[in-house]
Amino acid sequence: MIPYKFCILDVYPQHIVLAYKPKDTMVREFIRIKPKGYQFHDITHSSISQLIAYFKKEFKSTEYRRKAKSQRSPRATNSSVTTLSANMTAGGDWQNTGDKWD
């Protein structure tokens, strides 16, 4: 099981932030919202459910990790990067999110 959350922040318009903790460090990845779906790791997913299924199935793979390391964050629309950190950590206890593997 890996705890994960989604977050929408006004500093990153047209993006959803996927945050997860594979170990002790939180990892943030950016999902681009497009007219035909959610673009993540060069794949357009037609639904958030399809994207979550992809994440759960692939996050341990070498290819997934390669893509995650090469991903750059989008430009923030304002300079308050501390807002991102504050909002991503303010969501509560990662251990009790209720997000469990199927």
The pTM (predicted TM-score) of the whole model is: 0.70
Q: Is the pLDDT of residue 26 over 80?
A: yes
| Cα separation, 31 vs 26, whole angstroms | 16
Structural fold of domain 4-73: SHC Adaptor Protein (3.30.505)
Residues 6+ apart with CB under 8 A from 6: 16, 17, 18, 19, 48
Q: Where are the domains of the chain?
A: 4-73
Higher pLDDT, 87 or 15: 15
Q: What percent of the chain has pLDDT over 70?
A: 74
Please report where in the chains the tokens 């002790």 appear, as a residue.
24
Q: Is the pLDDT of residue 93 over 60?
A: no
| Cα separation, 98 vs 71, whole angstroms | 27
pLDDT tens-digit series, residues 33-74:
999 999 999 899 999 999 999 999 998 899 998 888 887 778
Cβ neighbours of 45 (radius 10 Å) = 19
